[in-house]
């Protein structure tokens, strides 16, 4: 699903994948920044806990935003496709200045929300300036090509990853979460071998990539952001590899970014935080 078109005199909102395991406390730099972008104390935050099987997922996140000074917070649990067409739920999404997807299972998000009016409202909201964040499964869901499942390991292999359509807020990146904690570099490289036009973004826990309207990423949080750049890919053996076989990739560039570091998705250039 392609991103909605940004209209003249409007600016796309930030797209914010969080690697999971973020500090759900008032001192979290990730959530503080999200609230600040979304209008601070005047923010209208919508929490979507669809990915989680836990009834407490939305309430826990609600409490954190309360601690950060936000009073206008709504939990919109889109648990069925029918609810994704409910005018009352759509109105809540349309009125939001910030939308936050909790973690869980990203296939719950794609199979419940994908292709519905709710998905359309969120995409168009993003195009007119609404900031959309997702943690863990929510992070995987926000891009066009979503990693649905996969195996750990450092070496890319044919069949190592399963892809599904995501929400489609951006088609420039493929996102993987819990990245270094769960040894997911191989599955992200495999996803890029299938889609070498995209940039791979591996987000560690308690870490977020704030993708701005100018397509520059800034890192927040305590972990690292792994950027896999295939813009100069020279060779891939994906077409010849059999199921389960390793895949050769030549010309991939890798950057490890920490808090304050930036990456320009258009120029494929990384910048340290002190420059």
Structural contact between residues 113 and 80, judged by C-beta atoms closer than 8 angstroms: no
* Residue 73: partners with Cβ closer than 8 Å, 6 or more residues away: 45, 46, 47, 62, 65, 66
Structural contact between residues 247 and 241, judged by C-beta atoms closer than 8 angstroms: yes
Structural contact between residues 229 and 253, judged by C-beta atoms closer than 8 angstroms: yes
Choosing from 52, 110, 136, 236, the catalytic residue is: 136
Q: Is-catalytic flag, 222?
A: no
CA-CA distance, 68 to 26, in Å (whole number)? Answer: 6
Q: Is-catalytic flag, 52?
A: no
Token pair 């450092």: residue: 154
CA-CA distance, 182 to 179, in Å (whole number)? Answer: 6
CA-CA distance, 211 to 221, in Å (whole number)? Answer: 14
- For residue 195, give both structure tokens: 């889609």
Choosing from 22, 83, 144, 205, the catalytic residue is: 205
Choosing from 62, 131, 145, 178, the catalytic residue is: 178
- For residue 61, give both structure tokens: 């996140």
Q: Is-catalytic flag, 117?
A: no
Q: Which residues are catalytic?
A: 136, 178, 205
């Amino acid at each position: 699903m392609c991103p909605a078109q940004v209209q003249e005199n409007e600016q796309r909102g930030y797209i914010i994948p969080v690697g999971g395991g973020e500090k759900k406390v008032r001192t979290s730099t990730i959530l503080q920044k999200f609230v600040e972008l979304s209008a601070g104390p005047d923010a209208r935050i919508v929490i979507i806990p669809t990915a989680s099987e836990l009834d407490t997922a939305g309430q826990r996140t609600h409490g954190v935003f309360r601690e950060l000074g936000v009073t206008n917070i709504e939990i919109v649990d889109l648990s069925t496709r029918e609810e994704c067409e409910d005018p009352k739920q759509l109105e809540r999404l349309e009125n939001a200045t910030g939308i936050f997807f909790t973690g869980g299972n990203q296939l719950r998000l794609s199979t419940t929300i994908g292709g519905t009016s709710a998905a359309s409202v969120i995409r168009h909201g993003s195009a007119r300036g609404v900031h959309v964040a997702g943690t863990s499964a929510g992070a995987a869901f926000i891009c066009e090509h979503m990693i649905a499942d996969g195996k750990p390991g450092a070496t890319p292999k044919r069949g190592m990853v399963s892809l599904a359509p995501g929400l489609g807020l951006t088609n420039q990146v493929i996102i993987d979460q819990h990245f270094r904690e769960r040894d997911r570099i191989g599955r992200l490289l495999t996803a890029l071998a299938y889609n070498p036009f995209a940039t791979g973004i591996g987000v560690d826990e308690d870490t977020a990539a704030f993708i701005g309207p100018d397509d520059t990423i800034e890192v927040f949080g305590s972990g690292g952001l792994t950027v896999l750049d295939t813009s100069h890919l020279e060779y891939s053996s994906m077409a010849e590899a059999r199921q389960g076989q390793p895949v050769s990739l030549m010309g991939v560039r890798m950057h490890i970014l920490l808090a304050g570091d930036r990456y320009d998705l258009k120029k494929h250039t990384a910048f340290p935080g002190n420059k």
